[in-house]
Amino acid sequence: MSEIPLTGHNCPGDPCTIVIFGASGDLTKRKLLPALYNLKVLKLLPQNFAVIGVAVSEGNDEMYRAKTTEDINQFATRPVDKAEWDDFNKRTYYVEGDFNSIDTFKHLSSKIDDVRKTHNLPGNVLFYLAVSPTFFAKVVEQLHAVDLTTETSDAWRRVIIEKPFGRDLASSRALNADLTKYIKEDQIYRIDHYLGKETVQNIMVFRFGNSVFEPIWNRRYIEYVQITVAEELGVELRGGYYDHSGVMRDMVQNHILSVLSLIAMEPPSSISGDSVRNEKVKVLEAIRPMEPEEVISNTVRGQYSAGIVDGKEVPGYRTEPDVDPHSNTETFVAMKLEIDNWRWAEVPFYIRSGKRLAAHTTQVVIGFRRAPLLLFGNDIQNKTMPNRLVLHVQPDEGITLDIHAKRPGPNISLANVPLDFSYSDFGEHTAATGYETLLYDCMIGDTTLFHRYDSVDASWRIVNPILDVWQALPARDFPNYAAGTWGPEAADALIAKTGHTWHHYLLKP
């Protein structure tokens, strides 16, 4: 069986020059270069392309080619074919320079012209900003200054921007204003690598491609929704960044709200471009902003202390490298959100995310209401859980549906039976980094999986009131959960208010 494509499209992307700012960073060597190589192997990268790395590190074309060869052999997600890589690598170039210097961008402009002539490329250029957010606006301003952002009828210019897009609502709007001075909204591709995962993309197929589920995907049949993004790892070497971010900015404002909007959105008129993004924005705009007293009652924040993970002692957050020993930054959050529309009125959406938790898992749990008639008696009814649907996003991608079945024997005895589907059993596994689909979609101009600014703005309007209250009322009990647990006890108390518990539902290997 041939390898399954990473995308529904079968044609290669548009011939283009791919410029990566931050070419010497971890994201480039661990994710972007392996993703581009995977696209080449799958024949989805255009035959005619070039890659130009830009960074402050000393180097030239030959030095960069040697470094990327070293990196691909270490971080590739598939065996490296020498002929494929050699063809890729001879199209790789490097520009050394400071992002604050206009000379760097003049050099880049000349390099793009030279590369275009060498490889007979059109004027299409994809700029990937794998840099600190403090450079987003500056890089775009400099690109504009040397006329690298101007599009023509036969040449596009697109800019991929990594998260975080601002630190709060005000800084997000200021950043967007700075960017749109020089480029149009349809040139900006705000990337969220979570949306490149198979199971996240499959949410739309699952909902709108199966007639058995969409008719019951509403408040009449669904009692609650839970979204969990749990990590066993701590902040590792990202303490300096994380201590100024926290889990709310790092995970909730982008990843989790993106998944929530896919779960809750109305059926779009098509599955591409603005049709999907319009429906996602409607969901975010319908989420009820919290008043200060609601923040106190409907949210829980936590910070991990030392503990045991996988049988090993691990340090507490405040003793991690580059973290303030008196830090009040949250490493865990749980909250209840409500969507004020006809489909989801009075259905609580519980979300939680944290570091140093008991397992590494991302999952969505749809809890269905109990059957309305007690046909089998109160005792049996109380011993069986309501039907649940679990969408496993990572590390093992798949779907579990809990149903009720009668145990064999003369008496009526019900059991909860899980029906499991795993992507590992569904054809051949595609070796991927999670960035392939997103890079390919940018090359063909498909914006479906990228954030439009109105969705970014709407998500900050949800998160900002919570951050404001937390800043005004610093936590007095940090650290309040041990590493290797499922978070603070207050998170269990939060969901228990409506008679529910958190589900720790791991897909069977």
Strands 414-422 and 398-406: antiparallel
State both tokens at 199: 């199971």
Q: Which residues contact 123 (CB under 8 A, 6 or more apart)?
A: 116, 152, 154, 155
Dmax of the chain from CA atoms? Answer: 84
DSSP 432-489: --S-HHHHHHHHHT--TTSB-HHHHHHHHHHHHHHHHHHHHS--SS-S-EETTBSS-H
Q: Which of 193, 255, 392, 451 is catalytic?
A: 255
DSSP 303-365: -EESEEETTEEE--GGGSTT--TT----SEEEEEEEB-STTTTT-EEEEEEESSBSS-EEEEE
Question: With the CA atoms of 129, 135, 141 and 144 taken in that order, what torsion angle do they form, in degrees rounded to the nearest 10?
Answer: -20
Closest by CA position to 459, among listed 469, 451, 450: 451
How far from the centroid of its chain's Cα atoms is residue 195's Cα? 5
Q: Which residues contact 429 (CB under 8 A, 6 or more apart)?
A: 423
Task: Please say if 9 is a catalytic residue.
Answer: no
Calpha distance 99→145 (Å, rounded): 13
Calpha distance 151→158 (Å, rounded): 9
Calpha distance 487→260 (Å, rounded): 21
Calpha distance 36→51 (Å, rounded): 10
State both tokens at 374: 């007690």
**Count of alpha carbons within 13 Å of 152, Cβ hemisphere only?**
8
- The residues annotated with a catalytic role in the active site are 255
